[in-house]
Structure 1
Amino acid sequence: ERPYPCGECGKSFRDSSALLTHQQIHSGERPYRCLECGKRFQTSLDLQLHEQAHTGERPFHCMDCGKSFNRNFHLIVHQRIHTGEKPYKCGECGKTFTQSSHLTSH
């Protein structure tokens, strides 16, 4: 159940705090500021992820080759090198891709 709808776009949320965070998209509010470079963010999580660029932190490690990443998503995409997984298929020619963006540009 998602009883908290956004009055601007209609998207609904499970709790009021998620709605408030979402509404910052429409207002342009970015209350979280990076002390290193001054860039501003809508959520504290976005700020934390950004700060990894300054610290060089790469907490996500590939168990196959040891390569590390700053985002779990990048690790997941990387692991497809080892598994051979290509989950995105062109409906016209049948060619498969490791990333949806590669299919889109194809």
Structure 2
Amino acid sequence: MNLEIKLAKVKEAPIVHKLMLEAFEEYRLLEVPSSALNESLESLINVLENGSDNVLLCFVNGEPLGSSRFSIKGDSLYFSRLSVTPHARGKGIAKAIIVA
């Protein structure tokens, strides 16, 4: 398995957005569904352009399978929207993103 994790660029926002929606879809029917399902592509692009968050994007054998937003505030590192597409779960992708 060839794993590559890199900072996402604004032009990759559609990939990140698609991964996030795929990963959170199973939570749509919960009493309180994830707000990730309501986030627009435009909102994500804005986040990447203004630098309020960064995004790690994970490719396995060249295919985008996971992502996570993160920000640094003071001495703390905050992760959000950790997303792994359902068919790729259980392969250590989320762990690899966090470690990166």
Work out which of the two has the higher radius of gyration on C-alpha atoms and give 1 or 2: 1
Per the normalisation by structure 2, the TM-score is 0.23
Which of the pair has the greater relative contact order for Cα pairs under 8 Å at 6+ separation? 2
Per the normalisation by structure 1, the TM-score is 0.22
